[in-house]
Every structure is written in structure tokens, then in C-alpha cells.
């Protein structure tokens, strides 16, 4: 795992300018819109609306820079040079697949989560007085809800590489989920550890960068005009979006090793996609 992290930092440091441009092309204006609405339109304590908007944009326009970055990583793996234009062109050719597969996985995950939630609610809202039969049924419902909740987390981990699969191999959602399920075999703990460490660290960086705004609000002095706060918040959000490329690179490297190098351990040259279905040695 440490080798993957070191390699990811090396790739990021070598091509950070390209990755930053790909991310900021869409996310800088998107973050400006989110923060304008958050500061000027949404209620002061309405954090949910801004969060919903961010999730919506991440699932739609966010698919374009993600696809462009993954295709850039694939080209780097082949030893090719990548320009901004090439990366965006590749991204436009694949980002619809990312949206579709995320919708499919989202429906599955949300459906399972909703069923688990209903079962847990029925258990905790059942009341205090009940006979032995009802007790067994409630205990059974709690057990089923727990199993579904564990299954939900398990599926999230098994589909963690689905975006890498559908983009780099030009797959549909079903085949992409199958590939991700196969690629995550034996590396679930590593994926959990990377997610638990990397995402909180990136959020911590964002929190530290946000501290000036928190301090201004805390001492109740107006050191920054409203629009300066909006611009500063958008720049901080965009910075964390660029840093999010690092986990994407790590997931790409895991998929590469699991699905490509294991199939051809003596591979000297990268594999090429074969009609969007499988990989063959060139």
C-alpha cells in the first residue's frame, strides 16, 4: 500500500498542473455558484441545500474531470504524453458512462440503505410492551437490518473501482460493476485504510484553509466583504477538489495491478482496450 501511495504522489507531482486544470475547469465555477447560493440565497443555517447541490454537481458535471483524469492516467501508463485538449476530449468520450454507472450503483446502495433504515426504525419505534413473539420478531428485524447495513458497506467497497473500470476499459455499468467486484478481491482492507486516511486528511487541509473565515466570524469583525468571502471559500473548495485527485490515482493503481498486471505478470507494455470489453497484450 505504501508503494501505491508513493507512486500516486510521484504521478501527482509530475502532472499536477494538468490535473489542476482539468479539475478547476468545471469545479471552480461550480464552487462559485455553490458559495454564492450558500451566502446569498440559502438560509444562514441551511447547510443541507448547499450539500445537496454539491452532491448533484459531483454526480453530473464532476464526471467529466474524473473521466479526463482517469484517461490521462491510462495514457501515462502507455507512455504517452497528454495535453489538456487530449484529456478533455477523452473525458467527453467517457463521462456519460461514469454518470450512468453512478446512477445504477446509487440506486442499489440507496435502496438497500433505505430498507435498512426502515427496519431499524420499526425496531426502535416498536414500543416498550410486547409479548415474546413480538420480541423475537423485533430481534429478527434488528438482525436483518444489521446484515443489510453491513452488506451496504461491503457493496460500497466492492464497487469502489467501478469508475476506473468503466472509463479505462470503456465498459457499460453492469460489466463495470463486475470488473470492480473482481478487482477489489483481497484489497478491501487497503481500500478502507486509504479512504479512512486520505479523505479526512484532505478535509483537514480544507478546514485549516477555512480558519481565517472562522476566526473573522468568531471575533465578530468584518474584515472581508461578502464577495471576498465567497471567492475565498470557492478557492479553498477548489483546492480540496484538486487534492481529491490523489485518491483517484491510488484507486487507478490498484485497478491496474489487480486487473492488468495479474493477468500478464510479465507485461512489458501496457494493455490496450479491446472493443471496450477486455484487455489484450499489445
How many angstroms separate the CA atoms of 49 and 34, rounded? 9
The label of the residue with cell 485504510 reads 193
Give the highest mean pLDDT range of 105-114, 201-210, 260-269. 201-210
Question: Looking at residues 232-258, what average pLDDT do you find?
Answer: 91
Mean pLDDT of the chain: 78
Rounded Cα gap, residues 251 and 254, in angstroms: 5
pTM of the model: 0.78
Distance CA 48, CA 50 (A): 6
- Residue-wise pLDDT for 145-158, tens only, equals 677 777 778 888 88
Identify the residue whose cell numbers are 486544470: 21
Orientation angle between helical segments 173-183 and 84-124, nearest 10 degrees: 80
Least confident of 87-101, 203-217, 246-260: 203-217
Q: What is the pLDDT of residue 136?
A: 62
Amino acid at each position: 500500500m505504501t508503494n501505491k501511495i508513493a507512486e500516486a504522489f510521484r504521478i501527482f507531482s509530475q502532472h499536477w498542473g494538468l490535473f489542476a486544470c482539468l479539475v478547476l475547469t468545471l469545479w471552480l465555477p461550480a464552487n462559485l455558484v455553490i458559495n454564492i447560493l450558500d451566502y446569498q440565497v440559502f438560509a444562514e443555517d441551511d447547510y443541507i441545500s448547499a450539500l445537496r447541490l454539491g452532491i448533484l454537481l459531483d454526480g453530473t458535471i464532476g464526471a467529466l474531470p474524473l473521466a479526463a483524469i482517469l484517461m490521462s492516467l491510462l495514457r501515462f501508463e502507455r507512455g504517452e504524453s497528454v495535453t489538456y485538449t487530449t484529456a478533455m476530449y477523452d473525458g467527453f468520450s467517457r463521462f456519460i458512462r461514469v454518470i450512468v454507472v453512478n446512477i445504477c450503483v446509487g440506486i442499489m446502495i440507496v435502496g438497500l440503505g433505505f430498507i435498512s433504515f426502515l427496519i431499524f426504525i420499526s425496531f426502535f419505534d416498536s414500543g416498550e410492551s410486547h409479548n415474546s413473539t413480538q420480541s423475537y420478531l423485533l430481534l429478527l428485524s434488528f438482525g436483518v437490518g444489521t446484515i443489510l447495513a453491513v452488506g451496504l458497506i461491503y457493496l460500497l467497497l466492492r464497487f469502489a473501482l467501478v469508475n476506473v473500470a468503466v472509463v479505462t476499459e470503456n465498459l457499460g455499468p453492469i460489466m463495470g460493476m463486475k470488473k470492480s467486484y473482481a478487482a477489489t478481491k483481497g484489497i478491501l482492507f487497503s481500500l478502507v485504510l486509504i479512504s479512512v486516511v486520505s479523505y479526512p486528511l484532505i478535509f483537514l487541509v480544507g478546514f485549516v484553509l477555512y480558519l481565517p473565515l472562522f476566526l473573522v466570524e468568531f471575533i465578530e469583525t468584518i474584515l472581508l466583504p461578502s464577495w471576498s468571502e465567497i471567492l475565498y471559500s470557492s478557492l479553498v473548495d477548489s483546492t480540496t477538489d484538486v487534492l481529491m485527485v490523489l485518491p483517484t490515482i491510488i484507486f487507478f493503481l490498484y485497478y491496474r495491478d489487480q486487473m492488468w498486471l495479474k493477468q500478464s505478470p510479465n507485461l512489458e507494455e501496457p494493455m490496450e482496450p479491446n472493443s471496450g470489453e477486455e484487455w489484450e497484450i499489445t
